[in-house]
Amino acid sequence: MLDINLVRTNPDLVRENIRKKFQDEKLALVDEVLELDRKNREAIQRADFLRSQRNKISKQIGALMGQGKKDEAEAAKQQVKDMQDELAEIEQKEVEYAEEVRKRMLVIPNIIDDSVPIGKDDSENVENERFGDPVVPEWEIPYHVDIMERLNGIDLDAARRTSGNGFYYLKGDIARLHSAILSYARDFMIDRGFTYYVPPFMIHGNVVTGVMSFAEMENMMYKIEGEDLYLIGTSEHSMIGKFIDQMLTEDELPQTLTSYSPCFRKEVGAHGIEERGVYRIHQFEKQEMVVVCKPEDSMKWYNKMWQLTVEFFRSMDIPVRTLECCSGDLADLKVKSCDVEAWSPRQQKYFEVGSCSNLGDAQARRLKIRVKGADGKKYLPHTLNNTVVAPPRMLIAFLENNLQADGSIRIPEALRMYMGGKAEIR
């Protein structure tokens, strides 16, 4: 959510940003916000005047009564009553105007960074850099589910009976590999100075609206019937939410956190949810990284965070690339974002395995997270999040890139201690 002062002082910048995101249907919101904000400020001024006059006249009533000027005192009382009635109406309008302004401000997109490429959708995202050589082996790479089934590591039919499409049972060495990757990711981040968390897996509605847009919430979140609780779509939601209504001190920054959680997603409108694979699913597990920092440090952390994901994947011999998200592909709260994509030898192309995002002060403003500086002044911190790893999707890249000619799966050195010393899966 933007600072209302920015809309007041530079509405043209806000409009131009909306155009860059190809959301022209939202242009009218700027004028609506300005008009509602004007009415609200006028109402506040009128209310302040009425309170001042009410207090002034109220003090005179006692004196008039003491002077025996009963009629004048009664007239003054009526004036106070009329003011009180008008004040009640105005205070109600203030609440209504403020709510209408907030509703619109929550929909107006955040100001994107100048470095973000302009494009309508993900087809116009820009490749930044490749890490590792994308190899296509001489032997055939089967579909990832076929690889898992040959190793007796997955049961999709049973999952359909219990839960429907978009769910899975992992078992045996594949299930162990899944857990090993998460354990390795946990220790990888701890070794780099991040504090490990296991957060709540359900959050209140005000936290949901604090960390994401309404469109994202509708398409992603599962609501617990009859309660103000939602299942998290990623641990970022509860990790940023932990700071709601908090005043941090500057020496507490940066907050560098890494968290494990299951993730639950509706995947509304997702293509391929009916397929046999585990690429797009309703339930998965994930290791996340979250940073809360000073505004001037957020781009430095943004670059460090996606580099950590690249380092993690390369430590398991998986080639990756980074893809800069264009303006039209950025969620409304994001200032800048890039995807980390892994190489698929079977498809001979890259596919998304993680996303790194700088959200500026948007989440902090929504959640009322503040920092008290050394000079006593208060300001909003910046928040960032990034995927370390999200199996089982990551398993697709792992299995394809580590499949050997005889059908066995090579275990990279970094993972072997988490696999009981195994060098391969057969």
* CATH code, domain carrying 407: 3.30.930.10
In this predicted structure, the answer to whether residue 13 has a pLDDT above a threshold of 90 is yes
User: Is 200 found in the same domain as 95?
Assistant: no
Give the residue among 426, 345, 423, 417 at the shortest CA–CA distance from 179: 417
Looking only at the bridges linking them, the beta strands covering 255-264 and 283-293 are antiparallel
pLDDT digits (tens, 9 = 90+) for 396-418: 999 999 999 999 999 999 999 99
User: Is 413 found in the same domain as 275?
Assistant: yes
User: Is 172 found in the same domain as 80?
Assistant: no
Residue 115 maps to a domain: no
In this predicted structure, the answer to whether residue 240 has a pLDDT above a threshold of 70 is yes
- The structure tokens listed for 182 are 């998460």
Can you tell me the mean pLDDT for 89-111? Answer: 94
Most confident of 71-85, 151-165, 203-217: 151-165
User: Is 247 found in the same domain as 99?
Assistant: no
Residue 273 has a pLDDT of 43
Residue 166 has a pLDDT of 87
Residue 114 maps to a domain: no
The parent domain of residue 237 ranges over 122-425
Which residues are paired to 324 by β-bridges?
Answer: 126, 338
Residue 112 maps to a domain: no
Low-confidence winner among 60-64, 82-86, 146-150, 238-242 (lowest mean pLDDT): 60-64
* CATH code, domain carrying 34: 1.10.287.40
Can you tell me the mean pLDDT for 219-232? Answer: 92
User: Is 257 found in the same domain as 180?
Assistant: yes
Residue 110 maps to a domain: no
The DSSP result for 80-128, as a single string, is HHHHHHHHHHHHHHHHHHHHHHHHHHTTSPPPPPTTSPP-SSGGG-EEE
Q: pLDDT tier at 268 (50, 70, 90 boundaries)?
A: low
Under a CB-based contact definition with an 8 Å cutoff, are residues 362 and 336 in contact? Answer: no
User: Is 245 found in the same domain as 167?
Assistant: yes
Residue 274 has a pLDDT of 45
In this predicted structure, the answer to whether residue 275 has a pLDDT above a threshold of 70 is no
Residue 297 has a pLDDT of 97
Residue 276 has a pLDDT of 63
Q: What pTM value is reported for the model?
A: 0.89
Low-confidence winner among 128-132, 216-220, 411-415 (lowest mean pLDDT): 216-220
Residue 117 maps to a domain: no
pLDDT digits (tens, 9 = 90+) for 339-377: 999 999 999 999 999 999 999 999 999 999 999 999 999
Alpha-carbon radius of gyration of the chain: 28
Q: What are the C-alpha distances in Å from 18 to residues 9, 125, 409?
A: 16, 18, 48
User: Is 49 found in the same domain as 169?
Assistant: no
In this predicted structure, the answer to whether residue 318 has a pLDDT above a threshold of 70 is yes
* Percent share of the chain, pLDDT over 70: 98
